[in-house]
Amino acid sequence: MAEESVYGIITNIQPYSVHDGPGIRTLVFFKGCSLRCQWCSNPENIFSYPQLRFFPEACVKNCSDCIDSCASNAINKIGDQLKIDFNICNDCNDKQCISTCKKKALQICGYRIVAEELVNEIEKDIPFFGDDGGVTLSGGEPLQQADFAYSILKKCKEKGISTAVESCLNVPLSTIEKCLPYIDFFMFDIKIISAQTHFDYCKTGNAQILNNIKFLSAIAKIPLLPRFPLIPALTDDNENILNIIEFMKKCGLKYLNVLPYMKLGINKYEQIGTDYALPSTQPPSKVREQEIISLFEKNGICCI
């Protein structure tokens, strides 16, 4: 297969990002992730296939074009509110409702794109990158689409574009080894050390993740930035914090990006027809946030 014919599924290309690696970056959201973290702020990127997404604020209440066009009878109205049976819709290959919706209240989340085409889009942003910027592959999990991610990273490096990856690292070691020569900056999560607790909150074990972190910390010659999602009542207990500190010390990791929970992306769950697992969870207090940062820093880990 020619490299130009390698394709992947993404949801968005976001230019001018300043929070996902050094400098100004173009952020590419890959679709598909093996984890099911209860606090995920990008649920539209969890499943690997394109999905229907409904934006109710754009819907015209007296319009029924999408209802009439749906051969699966997945779209109906209750009063003046449009209701979608996403279980039926996700099995539909027709998607006539999209073309009939004049206000774009119905959209497909996720589309196929060839590697060469995506790199061409990234190249358009080169004038804005400056000395430090570049492209960041995010998601979802970009390394889950291993061949596609490899092709994008390699092509970007060949064109002199700096590359970064945001990964949960729940991927085969062989994928990391293949892509690593073409990565300039690597960001990854250290969420929970307990295997059982990680499974409870992310629906996946963490042995592969922790082993991959050990591998990267031992051999990588590029900057590594671990990230810690601070989720009240899930990841913020002192036992987990101390376990993370011990693990990071063993790996020689001295920097940590602490990410306090925010109510981001909750509306996305309803838009794709799924339930949010933490509706009553609130962001951590500034006091608790500072306590945790202080605990890391007292143990020699610099929090960013």
pTM equals 0.94
Residues in CB range of 92: below 8 A, 6 or more apart: 70, 71, 72, 74
Q: Examine the pLDDT at 191 and tell me if it is beyond 70.
A: yes
What pLDDT, in 10s, does the model give residues 20-48? 999 999 999 999 999 999 999 999 999 99
- Contact between 212 and 176 (Cβ < 8 Å): yes
- Of 3.20.20.70, 3.40.50.12160, 3.40.718.10, 3.40.50.300, the CATH number of 3-48+110-303 is 3.20.20.70
The region of weakest confidence among 81-85, 210-214, 232-236 is: 81-85
The mean predicted confidence, pLDDT, of the chain is 94
Helix, strand, or coil (residue 17): strand
224 strand-pairing partners:
186
82 strand-pairing partners:
77
Domain range annotation of the chain: 3-48+110-303, 54-109
The whole-number pLDDT of residue 95 equals 77
**pLDDT category of residue 93 using cuts at 50, 70 and 90:** low
Distance CA 64, CA 60 (A): 9
What pLDDT, in 10s, does the model give residues 109-138? 999 999 999 999 999 999 999 999 999 999
Q: Which CATH class is domain 54-109?
A: alpha beta
The whole-number pLDDT of residue 89 equals 82
The vertex-162 CA angle with 156 and 164, nearest 5°, equals: 95
What pLDDT, in 10s, does the model give residues 159-175? 999 999 999 999 999 99
Residues in CB range of 291: below 8 A, 6 or more apart: none
The whole-number pLDDT of residue 1 equals 42
Residues in CB range of 64: below 8 A, 6 or more apart: 77
Long-range pairs for 11-18 at CB < 8 Å and ≥24 separation? 11/44, 11/45, 11/109, 11/110, 11/111, 11/140, 13/118, 13/121, 13/122, 15/125, 15/128, 16/128, 17/136
The whole-number pLDDT of residue 90 equals 66
The whole-number pLDDT of residue 117 equals 97
Q: Alpha helix locations (H) across 111-237? A: 115-123, 126-129, 146-158, 173-179, 195-202, 207-219
Q: What is the mean pLDDT of residues 245-262?
A: 97
Q: What is the mean pLDDT of residues 275-286?
A: 96
- Contact between 52 and 109 (Cβ < 8 Å): yes
Residue 288 CB coordination number (10 Å): 14
- The CA radius of gyration of the chain, in Å to the nearest whole number, is 21
The whole-number pLDDT of residue 171 equals 98
**pLDDT category of residue 238 using cuts at 50, 70 and 90:** very high
The whole-number pLDDT of residue 2 equals 46
Residue 10 CB coordination number (10 Å): 25
Q: Say what angle helices 238-251 and 286-298 make with each other, to 10 degrees.
A: 30
The whole-number pLDDT of residue 71 equals 85
Q: Which residue has the tokens 């390698």?
A: 6
The pair of three-digit structure tokens given for residue 172, joined into one six-digit string:
């085969």
The whole-number pLDDT of residue 55 equals 94
